[in-house]
């Protein structure tokens, strides 16, 4: 029997909440040392995966997510826009690829997509995938049948964040239940797609809520392959427009804990980067963040310009992660799916 490496011991799905809370309670330097050590065992610490996110259908969402300017319930000045045309999406994807992005994410403001809209989105997925990029979509809740259709179209990743802890969830969203988030994640997994799932820091939640959120993700039967950690972007007109700012070091603690708990996942430094200093971002990279979004917009909120990101990565001696290629990625997914079916 082959001996287990340190990297093998890193991967766990049986974390207790007390263990996660203990991570948050560590002295800051001890937490970062542990997180960075885990990071180096699984990734090149000077490589960052680059994605681009495009809003393919904006606004008029019936949900009441307290952080979201796309909710039809809030007056944020956002203009609703219909689902984009396939050729326009492909043009944006091609530009993102030429700028260095390897994954193209398509987001639509739905509670759940209508089947007739899904037909159109499937055409987008196929066209973007033909460019040689990884594909990702975030469309709200999915039925198992919708998830299967997206998987058959070649969608690589599906994003569906849990946002916060189950205990705090009702303070942020009342139009759906926390379990419905988990049901969509289960449907995505069953269809054979990879999962992109994380949360938001700075919505008034406690440290325990942050620990509970990560505990939920880290105890899934398979960790999300991508874990976005978002800092709340306070948008005038939303219920959270006056939320207290997050202590930057507390934000880095969430990144570090996510890295330790889900060592093989890409931890994405996501929304809120436009308000972060270069020093804070560098510290987050050291703590284990190894994915970012390129482009000046994240759906409808501000993101750093590409030139600023290029300059920052160059100053840090970091580079874009190499693209494995669609065929190799799909082969790996098929192996993973086969193992999952055999286990059940």
**Which residues are catalytic, by number?**
61, 65, 68, 105, 136, 196, 268
Check if the beta carbon of residue 154 is closer than 8 Å to that of residue 126: yes
Instruction: State the Cα–Cα distance between residues 299 and 114, nearest whole angstrom.
Output: 20
Give the count of beta carbons closer than 10 Å to the beta carbon of residue 176. Answer: 17
Q: Measuring CA to CA, which residue among 333, 165, 189 is closest to residue 254? A: 165
Looking at the DSSP bridge assignments, the partners of residue 266 are 226
**CA-wise closest residue to 246 among 285, 276, 216:** 276
What is the C-alpha to C-alpha distance for residues 159 and 198, in angstroms, rounded to an integer?
9
Rounded-to-integer distance, Cα 250 and Cα 298, Å:
23
294 DSSP assignment: E
Q: What is the dihedral of CA 261, 228, 5, 283, to 10 degrees?
A: -90
Per-residue buried b or exposed e for 79-112, using 16+ beta carbons within 10 Å of the residue's own CB: eeeebbebeebbebbeebbeebbbbbbbbbbbee
CA distance 297 to 249: 25
The CA distance from 152 to 259, in Å, is: 31
Answer positive or negative: Cα dihedral of 126, 131, 132, 133: negative
């Amino acid at each position: 029997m082959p001996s287990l490496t340190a990297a093998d011991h890193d991967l766990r799905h049986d974390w207790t909440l007390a263990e996660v809370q203990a991570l948050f309670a560590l002295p800051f330097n001890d937490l970062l040392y542990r997180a960075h050590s885990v990071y180096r065992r699984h990734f090149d610490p000077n490589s960052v995966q680059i994605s681009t996110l495009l809003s393919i259908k904006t606004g008029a969402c019936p949900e009441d997510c307290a952080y979201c300017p796309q909710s039809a319930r809030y007056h944020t000045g956002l203009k609703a826009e219909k689902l984009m045309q396939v050729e326009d999406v492909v043009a944006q994807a091609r530009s993102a690829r030429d700028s260095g992005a390897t994954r193209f994410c398509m987001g639509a403001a739905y509670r759940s997509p209508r089947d007739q809209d899904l037909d159109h989105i499937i055409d987008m997925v196929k066209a973007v995938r033909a460019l040689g990029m990884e594909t990702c979509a975030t469309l709200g809740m999915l039925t198992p049948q919708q998830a299967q259709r997206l998987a058959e179209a070649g969608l690589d990743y599906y994003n569906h964040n849990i946002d916060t802890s189950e205990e705090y969830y009702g303070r942020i969203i009342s139009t759906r239940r926390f379990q419905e988030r988990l049901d969509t994640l289960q449907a995505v997994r069953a269809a054979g797609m990879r999962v992109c799932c994380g949360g938001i820091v700075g919505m008034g939640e406690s440290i325990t809520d942050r620990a509970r959120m990560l505990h939920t993700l880290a105890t899934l039967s398979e960790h999300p392959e991508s874990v976005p950690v978002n800092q709340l972007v306070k948008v005038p007109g939303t219920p959270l427009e006056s939320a207290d700012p997050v202590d930057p070091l507390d934000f880095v603690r969430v990144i570090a804990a996510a890295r330790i708990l889900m060592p093989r996942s890409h931890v994405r430094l996501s929304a809120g980067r436009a308000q972060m200093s270069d020093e804070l971002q560098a510290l987050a990279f050291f703590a284990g963040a190894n994915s970012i979004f390129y482009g000046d917009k994240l759906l409808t909120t501000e993101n750093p310009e590409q030139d600023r990101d290029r300059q920052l990565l160059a100053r840090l001696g970091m580079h874009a992660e190499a693209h494995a290629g669609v065929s190799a990625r799909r082969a790996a997914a098929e192996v993973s799916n086969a193992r999952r079916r055999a286990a059940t």
